[in-house]
Chains A and B, each alone.
Chain A
Amino acid sequence: MKGEDLLRKMSDIEDSDIILSETSCKRRPRYAAWLYAAAALLVGLGVFAAVRLINKPEDEHHAYVPTAAPTEPVTEFPTDVPTAAPTETEPLSTQATPPEMLFFTGVKEYREFAEAAKLGEEEFESFLDEHGTYYMNGICSKQDAVNALKTLNSIPTPLLAGYELWRIELSSYNDRVRLIYRSGAHYISFVFTISCSDEDAESVIRGTEHELTEIDTGDIGELRYLLRVMTEEGTSPNAYYYSNIHAHKTFLITDIGEEELLALLRGCRFITVEEYSESADR
């Protein structure tokens, strides 16, 4: 048995123990003991002085102003306590049909798919068999492939300097195309709503419960608006934005800073996935 096996076995711990680790309170910092001691001393002095004041003549009352004892703020974690018995993950059901999500890891896979869609029906079926139904999910026939390609190519595909289109996802079931770009350790993810919408920033702000801040995009005319989702500091390594690019409502997730993102968008061209893949070939 190895450390790796033991680490994997940690997945079998009780659900309540996982949740508990989020509800445990912060321990008071070590200096808190000193703070408390100081506070207690001050309170003690205050009580002592107050007693003395009470017993002193009237003209000496101005000599003492009581000081409030300092209090330490205690940060609590959200109290997300489980209400039911623990459970375990079970083997996957083979009967259920997953939602229709088509994935391409990289432009090369997209090109292979696009080329296959030009083949005859039988050859295309062989292509599907070779690639399995998991990644070709939602594609049962050549016509499905043609439709998927048409949808993907209706989306404005950013050509971002220094970034590579690393993953393409088509989720027909929820009307989304996600394009993930990466450059070294950084990434930007664009989640486009396939159907078109001309909504403006104000209606987005009105329609969401998130706190949003409008970012001045200056000369980036391709963006109808750019709204940053305000998140609690330290809760996520990413920044989230809403935008509308070429009439497609867009959700952006990235780990780069706002200025860097704006600079990238400013220098960005929007083309089709097909054009992108051709430019990558060159």
Chain B
Amino acid sequence: MDDSRIIDLFFARDERAIEETNNKYGAYCFTVANNILESREDAEECVSDTWLRAWNAIPPKRPAVLKAFLLKIARNISLDRLKAARAAKRGGGETELAIEELGECVAGTADVFGELMEKRISGLIRDFVHGLTERERAVFVRRYFFLESVKTVAQRYGMSEGSVMTQLSRTRKKLKDILEKELN
């Protein structure tokens, strides 16, 4: 079923919307959740929660790209769950690594957060990622959006793990420079 038809089902409050969404995007959302949580049971639960959130959000929202919309919800739910798990000192190995890696980018930036600053940072990251070359962007997104391991990214793009790490390191350096310049 195409996405616009699925979204129409959501708008019609037809419960088949969830079944169709699950059939089409269940595996994608599961993969992201599982990458973050490294627990298949927790990931399954996050996927179920994703459908409920999508149900609550559509309508009024009409996502332009349903797949990305669902992936973002699944990702955010999984990160929330991971935060709780981290507080309880368990889980999240690959995500912990990604957090540590990205921590380099913000070391030394001002620790100021507020609504305006949040929006500014969102915009900076969006523009930064969008401005990368196709290859840089693909590797960066797979690592820090999908939370794939370096090994998986390397296999996906036919690169060596060393090349992926080098490329990620360069990209993070660029991001660090931008954040330092803009936020300090």
Give 30 A-B contacts (CB < 8 Å), ordered by A residue: A1-B110, A3-B98, A3-B104, A4-B99, A5-B113, A6-B103, A7-B102, A9-B118, A13-B126, A13-B130, A15-B65, A16-B68, A17-B129, A17-B137, A18-B67, A20-B138, A21-B146, A26-B157, A80-B67, A82-B68, A86-B68, A89-B57, A93-B59, A93-B60, A98-B52, A98-B56, A101-B52, A103-B48, A173-B15, A174-B19
Give the size category of B's interface with A.
35 or more
The 9 nearest A-B residue pairs measured at CB: A3-B103, A15-B68, A84-B64, A24-B138, A12-B122, A15-B65, A3-B102, A21-B141, A26-B158
Q: Is A182 an interface residue (CB 8 A)?
A: yes
Judge whether A87 and B44 touch: CB under 8 Å: no
| Measured CA separation A96–B75 after assembly (Å) | 22
Q: How far is the CB of B8 from chain A (nearest CB, A)?
A: 15
**Chain B residues within an 8 Å CB radius of A87:** 61, 63-65, 68-69
Cβ of B81 under 8 Å from chain A: no
Given A101-B52, A182-B41: A6 and B106 interface contact (C-beta under 8 Å): yes
Q: Which residues of B contact A8 (CB under 8 A)?
A: 76, 79
The contact of A92 among B19, B48, B53, by CB within 8 Å, is B53
- Known pairs A5-B113, A13-B125, A18-B68 / 9 extra A-B pairs, C-beta < 8 Å: A10-B145, A12-B126, A13-B130, A13-B141, A14-B129, A26-B156, A96-B56, A101-B48, A166-B41
**List of A residues within 8 angstroms of B109 by Cβ:** 1
Question: Which residues does chain B contribute within 8 Å of A16, judged by CB atoms?
Answer: 65, 68
Chain B contacts of A236 at CB under 8 A? Answer: 27, 30-31
Closest partner residue, chain A, to B122 (CB atom): A12
Q: Which of A19-48 contact B (CB under 8 A)?
A: 19-21, 24, 26-30
| B residues apposed to A, CB below 8 Å | 13, 15-16, 18-19, 27, 30-31, 34, 40-41, 44-45, 48, 52-53, 55-57, 59-61, 63-65, 67-69, 71-73, 75-76, 79, 83, 95, 98-106, 109-113, 118, 121-122, 125-126, 129-130, 134-135, 137-138, 141-142, 144-146, 156-160, 183
Q: Count of A residues near B, CB < 8 Å?
A: 60
- Residues from chain A with a CB closer than 8 A to the CB of B63 are 87
Once the chains bind, are B98 and A21 in contact (CB under 8 Å)?
Answer: no
Of the residues B41, B61, B101, B111, contact of A180 by C-beta under 8 Å: B41
User: Could you tell me the distance in whole angstroms from the C-beta of B80 to the nearest C-beta in chain A?
Assistant: 9
Nearest residue, chain B, Cβ from A254: B40
Q: Is the CB–CB distance between B157 and A24 below 8 Å?
A: yes
Contacts of B52 in A (CB 8 A): 98-99, 101
CB distance from B74 to the nearest CB of A (A): 10
**Quick check: is A203 within 8 A (CB to CB) of the other chain?**
no
> Is A115 among interface residues, defined by CB-CB distance under 8 A?
no
B142 CB contacts on chain A under 8 angstroms = 21
Chain A residues in 8 Å Cβ range of B15: 99, 173-174
CB of A235 closer than 8 Å to a CB of B = yes
